[in-house]
Chain A
Amino acid sequence: MDPERSITERIVQPERTVGPERTIEGVACTFCGCVCDDIRVTVRQNEVIGVERACTLGRAYLMRPQHGEGVTTPRVNGKEVSLECALAEASSILSRSKYPLIFGLSNTTIEAQKVAVRLAELIGASIDSTSSVCHGPGTLAKQYIGEPTSSLGEVMNRADLVIFWGSNPAESHPRHMSRYSVMRPGLYVPRGRKDRTVVVVDVRKTPSARAADLFLRIEPWSDYRILSNLIRLVKLTPVHELTPVHGSHVHWSQIEALKECSDESGEDREGRLPTPDTLQRLASLMTSCRYGALFYGVGLTMSRGGMMNVTAALRLVRELNNFTRFVIIPMRGHGNVAGIDNVLAWRTGYPFAVNFSRGFPRFGPGEFSAVDLLCRGEPDAVVVIAADPVSSLPVSAAEHLKRVPTVVIDPYVSPTTEIASVVLPCAKAGISASGTYYRMDNVPVPLKRLVASVYPSDEEILGSIVARIESAMTGRREVDAR
């Protein structure tokens, strides 16, 4: 595709390459935070016709037809219009608005995210990502405690104790266990699963719990209490007693003792509350492993006191580093939700819920976060990029979206595009648009453009809106000067 062709020209004169089937190796799946980049994709005539190695979720996402059921034409108030006209209307809505909100951004490239931050600065908007409704409280906790962390590659090569707390990777990140954390043999755990001990702590017995060596069923709202108890137990452990035994990564005696202890107390392996004895043994398992990894999910962040839950988990891991190497990694949900946290932090100093209404960035979870702003009915215009807030936010927040002008940039039809004032169809990141995604461990993964698209990328659309608003502002300043 000729990059010189303007984005408005491209949608009028679609370019479709016709050719034989092509198989592309090393494709990154952008559905969840694992961003698996070993997928094999077969394409024919600009459509993905085969996907190998991906999980059910990844396959469904990558195979979703690009143009058939998607948003095919830009729309303004439900009427099909040219891209030029839709861009002009979007720019005019945003130039007029006094307190706009930019939301979404977790399923788009970091290149587009950078332009979105520029747009927020230009129009004095609040900018928030879906991070605030998934791991936002955890991010706040990290600001207080810090995050002893590593890459998933390090976990794969070293971890002999893997704990999933409030997370169900078998359903939310189906390849996490097989590709990074549990099954795969690593440098210091050559037998893969056999060299690792897996513990799942959750309120319900999830499919992931069935794959674990030990499942601790806990009461709803008890995470903070249990994590605090573990911190106390770890702190009481004399360091010299628990020097890890080098050359051996097997904790079978300990895990068996732990299971027995659960059985004795009448709380079988699927037991309810872990007893003090269970916690004591879990604490010694943690302090004596060679390399431990705690993956926490939205089970910690989405329940009451989410921030305090994660604070306790981070403190626990910090304490554990007095004994052994222990890391903590959040199980980020959307493909590039880690990316928007990073981009916002580089650009503004804050990871989410940032407001530019005074011309400089201010951080305000609860004040400038999307759910709070929308529930209070404050924004007078909303830009939604690669998200579906009508389906994914509480109803009272979604209601406000129906009352104000909304500009939606999305490759597909969704309940949000249905209510939007301006719909701008775009190319799908990782399929018809290249760029970069950040994996859940903040490792950047480059995305390939697999097929040509008639649609511009999110980055191009946002860039065009920014250019229009900037030129209108310059024009206005010149008139004022005269």
Chain B
Amino acid sequence: MTNWSVDHCNEHTKSIRIVLITGRTIAQGSFAGHGKGWFDYTREVSTIVLSEEDMQSLKVSPGQAVRVKGQRGEAICICKKGDLPQGVGFLPYGRTANILAGSDTAATGMPIYKGLVVAVEA
């Protein structure tokens, strides 16, 4: 597995580059079923899951806010520890993911939602 995060770790700003995967979670799906205005929905779609190693490099603990910078925009997310390889992050589908996703569809109609390279700053 390519170690994205260590390659691109910046000691001074505590910033790492990761490959971000967005996807469905049960909580996100049920909140969407209930109605998206819910506070819980917003919290769920703004929670980024990181590997233990990446959280250590960033020196953040679960529940702390991090800044996630994509090609098109940036967003503040709450971080959470998950069973992921180092250098890979996960964010549920939603408005935050759409801020980070680019608009290039490579003539397929589909922007890239999985495998986005983003910077995460503590």
Contacts and interface: CB of A to CB of B under 8 A. Distances in A.
B63 interface: no
A174 to B, nearest CB: 7
Interface string A190-207: 000000000000011100
A353 B35 contact: no
A220 interface: yes
A270 B84 CA distance: 10
B51 to A, nearest CB: 10
Interface stretch (A88-96, A133-141, A446-454): A133-141
Contacts of A205: 83-84
Interface in A89-145: 128, 132-134, 136-137, 140
A220 B99 contact: no
A220 B112 CA distance: 12
Given A57-B29, A217-B85, A298-B113, A365 B107 contact: yes
For the complex, would chain B's binding face be called helix, strand, loop or mixed by DSSP majority? loop
Given A217-B85, A394-B103, A395-B98, A371 B111 contact: yes
Contacts of B36: 388, 391, 414-415
Interface in A346-375: 352-353, 365-367, 369-372, 375
B105 A303 contact: no
A326 to B, nearest CB: 25
A396 interface: yes
Nearest to A414: B36
Contacts of B73: 395
B1 A412 contact: no
Contact of B114 (A302, A369, A388, A394): A302
Interface in B11-60: 19, 21-26, 29-31, 33-37
Contact of B103 (A60, A305, A365, A397): A397
B8 interface: no
Contact of B111 (A140, A172, A305, A394): A394
A286 interface: no
Contact of A306 (B90, B101, B102, B110): B110
Q: Chain A, interface size: which category?
A: 35 or more
Contacts of B25: 171
Contacts of B72: 394-396
B30 A56 contact: yes
Interface string A314-339: 00000000000000000001000000
Contacts of B37: 413
A220 B21 contact: yes
B103 A371 contact: yes
B114 A220 contact: yes
Contact of A366 (B26, B30, B106): B106
A57 B26 CA distance: 7
Given A366-B106, A412-B35, A172 B114 contact: no
Contacts of B106: 304-305, 366
Contact of B84 (A57, A204, A352): A204
Contacts of A372: 103, 105, 109
A69 B115 contact: no
A155 interface: no
Contact of A375 (B84, B90, B103): B103
A392 B111 CA distance: 11
A299 B114 contact: yes
B81 to A, nearest CB: 13
B116 to A, nearest CB: 9
Given A303-B112, A375-B103, A413 B29 contact: no
Interface in B72-122: 72-73, 82-85, 88, 90, 93-95, 98-99, 101-103, 105-115
Interface in A165-191: 166, 168, 171-172, 174
Contacts of A391: 36, 94-95, 98
Nearest to A352: B109
Contacts of B98: 391-395, 398
Q: Which 8 A-B pairs have the closest CB atoms?
A: A369-B109, A366-B107, A60-B33, A132-B109, A61-B33, A60-B30, A375-B103, A303-B114
Interface of B: 1-2, 19, 21-26, 29-31, 33-37, 72-73, 82-85, 88, 90, 93-95, 98-99, 101-103, 105-115
10 contacts: A56-B26, A60-B31, A61-B33, A137-B110, A171-B24, A298-B113, A305-B106, A306-B108, A395-B99, A414-B35
